[in-house]
């Protein structure tokens, strides 16, 4: 009887190890695929911005670009002198988010911060991913 219990416990341990390892491998594969989807979306968006919004573009062109892509945006103005150094001399910030990008594991958005000068001309931008937990 004691030998049967020991065999049962070893079998359960092996099953648990196989299950946890399998889940970990699935998670890693989905995570890699998710990263590839997000990188592709980011590269595509960066190409579009480089082609359609070169430095010096005016605010109306920026707003048209965002509207055409369904991006919600908020304009922050005027910036204080302390923030101008953080935002590379910008006097106006346009904060925008892409619609959700669906990945196999996470749904993400790309947050874009566009920096404009006193003449409402584009100085540059920054981007950052924000993702929701799949659970």
Q: β-strand 122-132 against 101-102: which pairing, if any? A: unpaired
- Summarised one tens digit per residue, pLDDT across range 93-126 is 899 999 988 888 888 999 999 999 889 999 999 9
Please state, in angstroms and rounded to a whole number, the distance separating the CA atoms of residues 19 and 46: 40
- Which pLDDT value is given to residue 6? 87
Amino acid 15: pLDDT: 93
For residues 110 and 92, give the distance between their C-alpha atoms in angstroms, rounded to a whole number: 20
Higher pLDDT: 100 or 135? It is 100
Cα 21 to Cα 25: distance, rounded to the nearest angstrom: 6
Phi-psi region of 76 (alpha: psi -120 to 50; beta: other; left: phi over 0): beta
pLDDT score for 123: 92
SS3 annotation, the chain: CHHHHHHHHHHHHHHHHHHHHHHHHHHHHHHHHHHHHHHHHHHHHHHHHHHHCCCCCEHHHHHHHHHHCCCEEEEECCCCHHHHHHCCCCCEEEEEECCCEECCCCEEEEEEEEEECCCCEEEEEEEEEEEECCC
Domain ranges of the chain: 2-132
The per-residue pLDDT for range 12-71, each reduced to its tens digit, is 989 999 999 999 999 899 889 988 999 999 999 999 999 999 999 999 999 999 999 999
For residues 99 and 91, which has the higher predicted lDDT (pLDDT)?
99
Residue 46: CA count within 13 A, CB half-sphere = 9
- Give the pLDDT score at 25: 93
- The reported pLDDT for the residue numbered 80 is 66
């Amino acid at each position: 009887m004691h030998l049967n219990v020991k065999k049962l416990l070893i079998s359960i341990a092996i099953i648990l190890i196989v299950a946890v390892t399998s889940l970990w491998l699935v998670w890693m594969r989905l995570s890699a695929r998710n990263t590839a989807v997000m990188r592709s979306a980011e590269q595509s968006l960066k190409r579009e911005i480089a082609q359609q919004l070169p430095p010096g573009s005016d605010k109306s062109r920026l707003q048209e670009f965002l509207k055409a892509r369904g991006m919600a945006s908020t304009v922050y103005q005027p910036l204080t002198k302390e923030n101008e150094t953080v935002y590379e001399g910008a006097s106006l910030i346009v904060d925008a988010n892409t619609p959700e990008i669906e990945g196999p594991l996470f749904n993400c958005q790309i947050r874009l911060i566009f920096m404009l000068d006193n003449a409402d001309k584009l100085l540059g931008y920054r981007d950052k991913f924000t993702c929701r937990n799949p659970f």
